[in-house]
Copies of this chain bind each other. A is one copy, B any other.
Amino acid sequence: MSSIFGNIFKVSTWGESHGAGVGVVVDGCPAGLGLCEEDIQRMLDRRKPGSSAFTTQRSEADKIEILSGVFGGLTTGTPISLLVRNKDHHSSDYQNLAEQYRPGHADYCFDRKYGFRDWRGGGRSSGRETIGRVASGAIAEKLLSLFGICFLTYVDRIGDIEISADAFDEAEINRNPLCMPDRVAADAASDYLKRLMQEGDSSGSRVVCRVSGLPAGLGEPVFGKLDALLGQAVFSIGAVKGLEIGDGFAVSSMRGSDNNDGFFMENGEVKKLTNHSGGVLGGISDGSELILRAAFKPTPSIFREQKTVDRDGNNVTMNIAGRHDPVIGPRAAVVVESMTALVLADLLLENAVCRVSNLQKIYD
Protein backbone atom coordinates (compact mmCIF):
# COMPACT_ATOMS: atom_id res chain seq x y z
CA MET A 1 0.00 0.00 0.00
CA SER A 2 2.98 2.21 0.45
CA SER A 3 2.84 4.14 -2.80
CA ILE A 4 -0.79 3.56 -3.73
CA PHE A 5 -3.53 5.93 -2.58
CA GLY A 6 -7.30 5.94 -2.99
CA ASN A 7 -10.11 3.41 -3.06
CA ILE A 8 -11.69 3.95 -6.45
CA PHE A 9 -9.68 6.83 -7.93
CA LYS A 10 -6.33 5.16 -7.20
CA VAL A 11 -2.88 6.56 -7.81
CA SER A 12 0.36 4.63 -7.76
CA THR A 13 3.43 6.87 -7.63
CA TRP A 14 7.04 5.91 -8.25
CA GLY A 15 10.48 7.39 -8.74
CA GLU A 16 13.64 8.64 -7.10
CA SER A 17 15.33 12.00 -7.18
CA HIS A 18 18.30 10.94 -9.26
CA GLY A 19 16.85 7.90 -11.06
CA ALA A 20 15.57 7.79 -14.62
CA GLY A 21 12.42 9.70 -13.79
CA VAL A 22 9.35 10.00 -11.61
CA GLY A 23 5.73 9.27 -12.39
CA VAL A 24 2.36 7.98 -11.46
CA VAL A 25 -0.32 5.63 -12.73
CA VAL A 26 -3.93 6.75 -12.18
CA ASP A 27 -6.34 3.82 -12.10
CA GLY A 28 -10.05 4.45 -11.75
CA CYS A 29 -10.47 7.85 -13.37
CA PRO A 30 -13.89 7.81 -15.05
CA ALA A 31 -14.05 7.73 -18.82
CA GLY A 32 -14.97 10.84 -20.76
CA LEU A 33 -12.94 13.48 -18.95
CA GLY A 34 -11.25 15.95 -21.28
CA LEU A 35 -7.53 15.77 -20.56
CA CYS A 36 -4.35 16.97 -22.20
CA GLU A 37 -0.77 17.39 -21.08
CA GLU A 38 -1.24 21.12 -20.59
CA ASP A 39 -3.87 20.45 -17.88
CA ILE A 40 -1.21 18.65 -15.90
CA GLN A 41 1.77 20.80 -16.82
CA ARG A 42 0.05 23.88 -15.39
CA MET A 43 -0.13 22.29 -11.95
CA LEU A 44 3.40 20.87 -12.16
CA ASP A 45 4.83 24.27 -12.99
CA ARG A 46 3.59 25.52 -9.62
CA ARG A 47 6.06 23.19 -7.88
CA LYS A 48 8.87 23.40 -10.46
CA PRO A 49 12.33 24.12 -9.08
CA GLY A 50 14.44 27.03 -10.20
CA SER A 51 11.66 29.53 -10.54
CA SER A 52 12.72 31.97 -7.82
CA ALA A 53 15.50 32.86 -5.40
CA PHE A 54 13.74 30.73 -2.81
CA THR A 55 13.76 27.42 -4.66
CA THR A 56 16.57 25.03 -5.42
CA GLN A 57 18.45 25.99 -8.56
CA ARG A 58 18.22 22.46 -9.90
CA SER A 59 17.11 22.97 -13.47
CA GLU A 60 14.33 20.60 -14.43
CA ALA A 61 11.75 21.28 -17.09
CA ASP A 62 9.54 18.66 -15.41
CA LYS A 63 7.82 18.08 -18.70
CA ILE A 64 4.96 15.62 -18.39
CA GLU A 65 4.20 12.86 -20.88
CA ILE A 66 0.86 11.02 -20.95
CA LEU A 67 1.70 7.42 -21.88
CA SER A 68 -1.75 5.80 -21.76
CA GLY A 69 -5.40 6.12 -20.87
CA VAL A 70 -6.29 9.09 -23.08
CA PHE A 71 -7.70 8.82 -26.60
CA GLY A 72 -9.02 11.62 -28.75
CA GLY A 73 -8.55 14.08 -25.89
CA LEU A 74 -10.69 12.09 -23.45
CA THR A 75 -9.85 9.69 -20.66
CA THR A 76 -10.86 6.15 -21.65
CA GLY A 77 -11.43 4.65 -18.19
CA THR A 78 -8.18 2.68 -18.38
CA PRO A 79 -5.04 3.53 -16.37
CA ILE A 80 -3.41 6.85 -17.13
CA SER A 81 0.37 6.60 -16.93
CA LEU A 82 2.30 9.85 -16.50
CA LEU A 83 6.06 10.24 -16.81
CA VAL A 84 8.56 12.99 -16.06
CA ARG A 85 12.17 12.24 -16.94
CA ASN A 86 14.87 13.44 -14.53
CA LYS A 87 17.52 15.56 -16.17
CA ASP A 88 19.73 17.66 -13.96
CA HIS A 89 21.34 15.22 -11.48
CA HIS A 90 24.26 16.31 -9.41
CA SER A 91 24.69 13.08 -7.50
CA SER A 92 28.24 14.00 -6.61
CA ASP A 93 26.91 16.82 -4.39
CA TYR A 94 25.44 14.12 -2.22
CA GLN A 95 28.41 11.82 -2.01
CA ASN A 96 28.78 12.11 1.76
CA LEU A 97 25.13 11.16 2.19
CA ALA A 98 26.05 7.62 1.31
CA GLU A 99 27.90 7.41 4.62
CA GLN A 100 26.39 10.00 6.96
CA TYR A 101 22.85 10.49 8.24
CA ARG A 102 21.47 14.00 7.69
CA PRO A 103 19.60 15.30 10.77
CA GLY A 104 15.92 15.88 10.08
CA HIS A 105 16.00 13.58 7.04
CA ALA A 106 14.90 10.00 6.51
CA ASP A 107 18.41 8.65 5.78
CA TYR A 108 18.84 6.83 9.06
CA CYS A 109 15.30 5.45 9.02
CA PHE A 110 15.60 4.11 5.46
CA ASP A 111 18.84 2.35 6.35
CA ARG A 112 17.31 0.81 9.44
CA LYS A 113 14.23 -0.25 7.55
CA TYR A 114 15.66 -1.59 4.31
CA GLY A 115 19.30 -2.27 5.19
CA PHE A 116 20.54 0.29 2.67
CA ARG A 117 19.13 3.06 0.52
CA ASP A 118 19.39 4.98 -2.74
CA TRP A 119 21.17 7.97 -1.21
CA ARG A 120 21.44 10.01 -4.40
CA GLY A 121 19.60 13.26 -3.76
CA GLY A 122 17.43 11.71 -1.08
CA GLY A 123 16.19 8.92 -3.33
CA ARG A 124 12.53 8.19 -2.79
CA SER A 125 12.23 10.64 0.13
CA SER A 126 13.22 13.58 -2.06
CA GLY A 127 10.74 16.33 -2.78
CA ARG A 128 10.74 15.14 -6.39
CA GLU A 129 8.58 12.25 -5.20
CA THR A 130 5.71 14.75 -5.09
CA ILE A 131 5.64 15.14 -8.87
CA GLY A 132 3.51 12.02 -9.14
CA ARG A 133 1.12 13.44 -6.56
CA VAL A 134 0.74 16.76 -8.36
CA ALA A 135 0.40 15.20 -11.80
CA SER A 136 -2.38 12.92 -10.61
CA GLY A 137 -3.86 15.68 -8.46
CA ALA A 138 -4.22 17.75 -11.61
CA ILE A 139 -6.45 15.06 -13.11
CA ALA A 140 -8.50 14.90 -9.92
CA GLU A 141 -8.87 18.67 -9.95
CA LYS A 142 -9.97 18.64 -13.58
CA LEU A 143 -12.66 16.10 -12.69
CA LEU A 144 -13.80 18.08 -9.65
CA SER A 145 -13.99 21.29 -11.68
CA LEU A 146 -16.80 19.73 -13.75
CA PHE A 147 -18.89 19.81 -10.60
CA GLY A 148 -18.05 23.38 -9.62
CA ILE A 149 -15.46 22.45 -7.01
CA CYS A 150 -12.67 25.03 -6.76
CA PHE A 151 -9.41 25.29 -4.81
CA LEU A 152 -7.71 28.22 -3.15
CA THR A 153 -4.31 27.40 -1.67
CA TYR A 154 -1.68 29.65 -0.16
CA VAL A 155 1.01 30.12 2.47
CA ASP A 156 -0.31 31.96 5.52
CA ARG A 157 2.80 31.90 7.69
CA ILE A 158 6.58 31.77 7.31
CA GLY A 159 8.51 31.91 10.58
CA ASP A 160 6.75 34.53 12.70
CA ILE A 161 5.32 36.37 9.73
CA GLU A 162 1.63 35.74 9.25
CA ILE A 163 -0.71 37.12 6.65
CA SER A 164 -3.26 39.64 7.84
CA ALA A 165 -6.91 38.80 7.36
CA ASP A 166 -7.59 42.42 6.45
CA ALA A 167 -4.96 42.51 3.76
CA PHE A 168 -6.05 39.23 2.16
CA ASP A 169 -5.69 39.52 -1.61
CA GLU A 170 -6.27 36.37 -3.61
CA ALA A 171 -4.71 37.73 -6.76
CA GLU A 172 -1.46 38.30 -4.91
CA ILE A 173 -0.88 34.55 -4.42
CA ASN A 174 0.47 34.11 -7.91
CA ARG A 175 2.34 37.39 -7.97
CA ASN A 176 4.92 36.58 -5.30
CA PRO A 177 7.15 33.51 -5.19
CA LEU A 178 6.08 32.73 -1.63
CA CYS A 179 2.39 32.21 -2.55
CA MET A 180 1.22 34.55 0.18
CA PRO A 181 -2.09 36.38 -0.37
CA ASP A 182 -0.75 39.54 1.30
CA ARG A 183 1.92 41.66 -0.36
CA VAL A 184 3.26 43.12 2.86
CA ALA A 185 3.63 39.77 4.54
CA ALA A 186 5.24 38.32 1.42
CA ASP A 187 7.81 41.11 1.37
CA ALA A 188 8.59 40.66 5.05
CA ALA A 189 8.92 36.90 4.63
CA SER A 190 11.15 37.43 1.63
CA ASP A 191 13.50 39.58 3.71
CA TYR A 192 13.44 37.05 6.53
CA LEU A 193 14.31 34.17 4.20
CA LYS A 194 17.17 36.07 2.62
CA ARG A 195 18.64 36.63 6.05
CA LEU A 196 18.27 32.95 6.90
CA MET A 197 19.90 31.92 3.62
CA GLN A 198 22.89 34.06 4.44
CA GLU A 199 23.10 32.23 7.74
CA GLY A 200 22.76 28.87 5.98
CA ASP A 201 19.49 28.33 7.81
CA SER A 202 15.85 27.61 6.88
CA SER A 203 12.34 28.42 8.10
CA GLY A 204 9.11 26.61 8.92
CA SER A 205 5.87 27.58 7.23
CA ARG A 206 2.15 26.95 7.08
CA VAL A 207 -0.13 26.22 4.14
CA VAL A 208 -3.89 26.76 3.92
CA CYS A 209 -6.11 24.95 1.44
CA ARG A 210 -9.74 25.98 0.99
CA VAL A 211 -12.24 24.24 -1.25
CA SER A 212 -15.53 25.74 -2.33
CA GLY A 213 -18.43 24.29 -4.23
CA LEU A 214 -18.40 20.95 -2.42
CA PRO A 215 -21.75 19.20 -2.24
CA ALA A 216 -22.85 18.02 1.20
CA GLY A 217 -22.39 14.30 1.64
CA LEU A 218 -18.77 13.55 0.72
CA GLY A 219 -16.98 11.31 3.22
CA GLU A 220 -17.52 7.71 4.25
CA PRO A 221 -18.01 6.92 7.93
CA VAL A 222 -16.08 5.66 9.88
CA PHE A 223 -12.51 5.29 8.61
CA GLY A 224 -13.11 6.86 5.23
CA LYS A 225 -14.28 10.15 6.70
CA LEU A 226 -13.37 13.22 4.69
CA ASP A 227 -11.15 14.53 7.47
CA ALA A 228 -9.61 11.09 8.09
CA LEU A 229 -8.55 10.73 4.46
CA LEU A 230 -7.27 14.31 4.48
CA GLY A 231 -5.31 13.32 7.58
CA GLN A 232 -3.61 10.52 5.70
CA ALA A 233 -3.20 12.56 2.55
CA VAL A 234 -1.63 15.63 4.11
CA PHE A 235 0.54 13.85 6.68
CA SER A 236 1.89 11.69 3.86
CA ILE A 237 3.59 14.82 2.49
CA GLY A 238 7.18 15.10 3.68
CA ALA A 239 7.83 17.71 6.44
CA VAL A 240 4.20 18.08 7.57
CA LYS A 241 4.01 18.02 11.38
CA GLY A 242 0.50 19.33 12.00
CA LEU A 243 -2.93 19.50 10.43
CA GLU A 244 -6.03 21.42 11.39
CA ILE A 245 -9.53 21.26 9.96
CA GLY A 246 -11.63 24.36 10.55
CA ASP A 247 -10.81 25.93 13.90
CA GLY A 248 -8.24 23.22 14.57
CA PHE A 249 -6.39 23.37 17.86
CA ALA A 250 -8.30 26.43 18.98
CA VAL A 251 -11.30 24.15 19.67
CA SER A 252 -9.59 22.68 22.71
CA SER A 253 -10.17 25.99 24.55
CA MET A 254 -13.63 26.63 23.20
CA ARG A 255 -17.08 26.04 24.61
CA GLY A 256 -19.73 24.10 22.77
CA SER A 257 -21.96 27.14 22.63
CA ASP A 258 -19.22 28.98 20.71
CA ASN A 259 -18.03 26.12 18.56
CA ASN A 260 -21.35 24.77 17.28
CA ASP A 261 -22.37 26.13 13.89
CA GLY A 262 -26.11 26.81 13.84
CA PHE A 263 -28.11 25.99 10.70
CA PHE A 264 -30.58 28.24 8.92
CA MET A 265 -32.52 28.29 5.66
CA GLU A 266 -31.58 30.65 2.84
CA ASN A 267 -33.32 30.55 -0.52
CA GLY A 268 -34.49 27.05 0.18
CA GLU A 269 -31.01 25.85 1.05
CA VAL A 270 -29.55 24.81 4.38
CA LYS A 271 -26.73 27.15 5.41
CA LYS A 272 -24.56 27.54 8.49
CA LEU A 273 -24.36 30.68 10.63
CA THR A 274 -20.63 30.11 11.16
CA ASN A 275 -18.02 27.65 9.85
CA HIS A 276 -16.00 26.55 12.87
CA SER A 277 -16.23 23.01 11.54
CA GLY A 278 -14.27 23.90 8.41
CA GLY A 279 -16.84 22.22 6.23
CA VAL A 280 -16.83 18.76 7.81
CA LEU A 281 -19.31 17.33 10.33
CA GLY A 282 -19.13 13.73 11.40
CA GLY A 283 -16.54 13.16 8.70
CA ILE A 284 -18.91 14.24 5.92
CA SER A 285 -18.81 17.49 3.95
CA ASP A 286 -21.52 19.84 5.20
CA GLY A 287 -21.79 22.03 2.10
CA SER A 288 -19.77 24.94 3.46
CA GLU A 289 -16.18 25.75 2.57
CA LEU A 290 -13.63 23.04 3.40
CA ILE A 291 -10.71 24.61 5.27
CA LEU A 292 -7.50 22.89 6.25
CA ARG A 293 -4.15 24.16 7.50
CA ALA A 294 -0.85 22.24 7.44
CA ALA A 295 2.36 23.02 9.32
CA PHE A 296 5.63 22.40 7.48
CA LYS A 297 8.88 22.08 9.36
CA PRO A 298 11.90 24.08 8.21
CA THR A 299 13.89 22.51 5.37
CA PRO A 300 16.18 20.07 7.18
CA SER A 301 19.00 20.58 4.65
CA ILE A 302 20.84 23.55 6.15
CA PHE A 303 24.32 24.79 5.32
CA ARG A 304 25.69 24.61 8.82
CA GLU A 305 27.83 22.11 10.60
CA GLN A 306 25.63 19.51 12.28
CA LYS A 307 26.29 16.69 14.73
CA THR A 308 25.35 13.27 13.46
CA VAL A 309 26.57 9.69 13.04
CA ASP A 310 27.75 7.66 10.08
CA ARG A 311 26.74 4.20 8.88
CA ASP A 312 29.59 2.62 10.82
CA GLY A 313 28.38 4.08 14.11
CA ASN A 314 30.85 6.92 14.53
CA ASN A 315 29.95 10.36 15.81
CA VAL A 316 30.75 12.83 13.03
CA THR A 317 30.28 16.47 12.06
CA MET A 318 28.50 16.87 8.77
CA ASN A 319 28.20 19.57 6.12
CA ILE A 320 25.49 19.38 3.49
CA ALA A 321 26.05 20.47 -0.09
CA GLY A 322 23.49 20.44 -2.90
CA ARG A 323 20.70 22.84 -3.80
CA HIS A 324 17.88 23.32 -1.30
CA ASP A 325 14.90 25.58 -0.72
CA PRO A 326 15.08 27.69 2.46
CA VAL A 327 11.38 27.10 3.09
CA ILE A 328 9.05 24.29 2.08
CA GLY A 329 5.53 25.79 2.15
CA PRO A 330 5.54 27.83 -1.06
CA ARG A 331 6.42 24.88 -3.29
CA ALA A 332 4.45 22.42 -1.15
CA ALA A 333 1.22 24.41 -1.44
CA VAL A 334 0.34 22.75 -4.74
CA VAL A 335 1.15 19.36 -3.21
CA VAL A 336 -1.33 19.96 -0.37
CA GLU A 337 -3.89 21.03 -2.95
CA SER A 338 -3.20 17.94 -5.07
CA MET A 339 -3.56 15.55 -2.17
CA THR A 340 -6.80 17.26 -1.19
CA ALA A 341 -8.05 16.90 -4.75
CA LEU A 342 -7.19 13.20 -4.78
CA VAL A 343 -9.19 12.67 -1.59
CA LEU A 344 -12.16 14.60 -2.90
CA ALA A 345 -12.22 12.88 -6.28
CA ASP A 346 -12.18 9.50 -4.59
CA LEU A 347 -14.96 10.47 -2.20
CA LEU A 348 -17.02 11.99 -5.01
CA LEU A 349 -17.00 8.56 -6.67
CA GLU A 350 -17.63 6.63 -3.46
CA ASN A 351 -20.50 8.87 -2.45
CA ALA A 352 -22.13 8.44 -5.85
CA VAL A 353 -22.90 4.80 -5.09
CA CYS A 354 -23.98 5.08 -1.47
CA ARG A 355 -27.71 5.14 -2.21
CA VAL A 356 -29.94 2.76 -4.08
CA SER A 357 -31.70 5.73 -5.60
CA ASN A 358 -28.44 6.86 -7.21
CA LEU A 359 -27.99 3.46 -8.79
CA GLN A 360 -31.49 3.71 -10.14
CA LYS A 361 -30.59 6.99 -11.84
CA ILE A 362 -27.85 5.14 -13.70
CA TYR A 363 -29.28 1.71 -14.40
CA ASP A 364 -32.97 2.42 -14.94
A228 interfacial contact with B, CB 8 Å: yes
Query: How far apart are the CA atoms of A241 and B254 in the complex, in Å?
Result: 12
When the two chains form their complex, are residues A27 and B8 in contact, meaning their CB atoms are under 8 A apart? no
When the two chains form their complex, are residues A108 and B19 in contact, meaning their CB atoms are under 8 A apart? no
When the two chains form their complex, are residues A223 and B236 in contact, meaning their CB atoms are under 8 A apart? yes
A53 interfacial contact with B, CB 8 Å: no
Chain B residues whose CB sits within 8 angstroms of the CB of A7 once the complex forms? 1, 7-8
Task: Look across to chain B and name the residue whose beta carbon is closest to the beta carbon of A67.
Answer: B20
When the two chains form their complex, are residues B78 and A16 in contact, meaning their CB atoms are under 8 A apart? yes
Interface residues of A in 12-51 (CB under 8 A from B): 12-16, 19-23, 25, 27-28, 30-33
Give the copy number: 4
Chain B residues whose CB sits within 8 angstroms of the CB of A260 once the complex forms? 103-104, 300, 302, 306
Query: How far apart are the CA atoms of A209 and B74 in the complex, in Å?
Result: 38
Interface residues of A in 191-205 (CB under 8 A from B): 196, 201-205
When the two chains form their complex, are residues A109 and B284 in contact, meaning their CB atoms are under 8 A apart? yes
Stretch in contact with the other chain, from A54-62, A164-172, A176-184, A244-252: A244-252
Task: Look across to chain B and name the residue whose beta carbon is closest to the beta carbon of A228.
Answer: B236
Name the distance in Å between A347's Cβ and chain B's nearest Cβ: 10
Chain B residues whose CB sits within 8 angstroms of the CB of A253 once the complex forms? 157, 159-160, 204
When the two chains form their complex, are residues A282 and B110 in contact, meaning their CB atoms are under 8 A apart? yes
A sample of 17 cross-chain residue pairs with beta-carbon separation below 8 angstroms, ordered by A number, consists of: A3-B27, A8-B353, A14-B79, A16-B78, A20-B68, A31-B114, A106-B283, A113-B217, A113-B284, A114-B354, A125-B282, A203-B255, A228-B236, A241-B245, A242-B251, A264-B308, A273-B307
